[in-house]
């Protein structure tokens, strides 16, 4: 594999690693599994044996599942969901994390024309969604991380980065000693944003420009429901218990 392209984003920020040959390209991954294999190669030999992969459902789970096979690390989920207006589920102006933390980008909320009353409705809907996912996908499991853990947060892409910012803050509050964000694709602005939050960002396909869609990085893209995500997790957990 070609060497990593590295750039320092600032003295107080994490390091960003990308695949320079994938910069600004679309349709670079066959599917989420292929994307996870690429990320695993980027991270190979860089992580301690006790590092923990934390997938953000739904899309981050198949990516992380492919990574855990390659890297031999344990996999759990960090349930975080973006807060969206009632009229559009694809754009977000905030996020809710597994620990109940609510994060709002007031500038984006104003851009979408969401008033405070509507925002409260959107937040309550998202809090309920996060609780359901925690109950169904973690099923009474212990803490997401232990104090001092190296946590690798995985999603299938970074658009605005709002969800991953909330995930990073929640995992750090839970005691993680080091946080690495690992995503197959990301907008340049979101990658820079996460470099200020995490200790390290691994993003194979960084794309600049005004228009960005995570799906554009994939040949085979589809939405995942919670039943599919739970099936992936259960199969990995069954293998790990043998």
State how far the Cα of 161 lies from the Cα of 198, in Å rounded to an integer. 12
Report CA dihedral (113, 115, 117, 119) to the nearest 10 degrees. Answer: 60
Q: Which two tokens stand for residue 221?
A: 């893209």
3-state secondary structure of 4: coil
- Domains of the chain in start order, with CATH, are 5-79+144-237 (3.40.50.2020)
Residue 106 CB contacts under 8 Å (≥ 6 apart), including other chains: none
Average pLDDT for residues 163-185, to the nearest whole number?
Answer: 96
Within 67-199, strands assigned E span: 74-77, 80-83, 94-97, 102-104, 150-154, 178-187
Average pLDDT for residues 190-195, to the nearest whole number?
Answer: 95
Say whether pLDDT at 3 is over 50.
Answer: no
Strand-pair category, 52-55 with 150-154: parallel
Average pLDDT for residues 157-182, to the nearest whole number?
Answer: 95
Alpha-helical runs (H) found in 25-78: 32-43, 60-71
For the whole model, what pTM was predicted? 0.90
With pLDDT > 90 as the criterion, what percentage of the chain qualifies? Answer: 78
Q: What is the mean pLDDT of the chain?
A: 90
């Amino acid at each position: 594999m070609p060497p990593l392209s590295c750039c320092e984003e600032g003295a107080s920020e994490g390091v960003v690693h990308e695949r320079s040959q994938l910069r600004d390209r679309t349709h670079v991954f066959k599917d989420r599994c292929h994307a996870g294999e690429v990320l695993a190669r980027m991270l190979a030999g860089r992580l301690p044996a006790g590092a923990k992969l934390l997938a953000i459902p739904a899309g981050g789970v198949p990516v992380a599942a492919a990574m855990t096979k390659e890297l031999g690390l344990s996999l759990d989920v960090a349930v975080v969901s973006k807060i969206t207006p009632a009229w559009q589920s694809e754009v977000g102006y905030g996020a809710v994390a597994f620990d109940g933390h609510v994060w709002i980008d007031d500038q984006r909320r104003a851009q979408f024309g969401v008033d405070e009353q509507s925002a409260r409705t959107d937040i309550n809907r998202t809090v309920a969604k996060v609780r359901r996912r925690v109950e169904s996908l973690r099923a009474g499991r212990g803490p997401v991380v232990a104090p001092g853990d190296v946590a690798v947060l995985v999603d299938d892409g970074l658009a605005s980065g709002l969800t991953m910012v909330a995930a990073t803050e929640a995992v750090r509050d839970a005691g993680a000693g080091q946080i690495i964000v690992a995503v197959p694709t990301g907008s340049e602005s979101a990658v820079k944003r996460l470099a200020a939050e995490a200790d390290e960002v691994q993003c194979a396909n960084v794309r600049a420009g005004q228009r960005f869609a995570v799906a554009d990085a994939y040949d085979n893209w589809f939405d995942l429901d919670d039943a599919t995500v739970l099936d992936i997790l259960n199969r990995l957990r069954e293998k790990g218990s043998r």
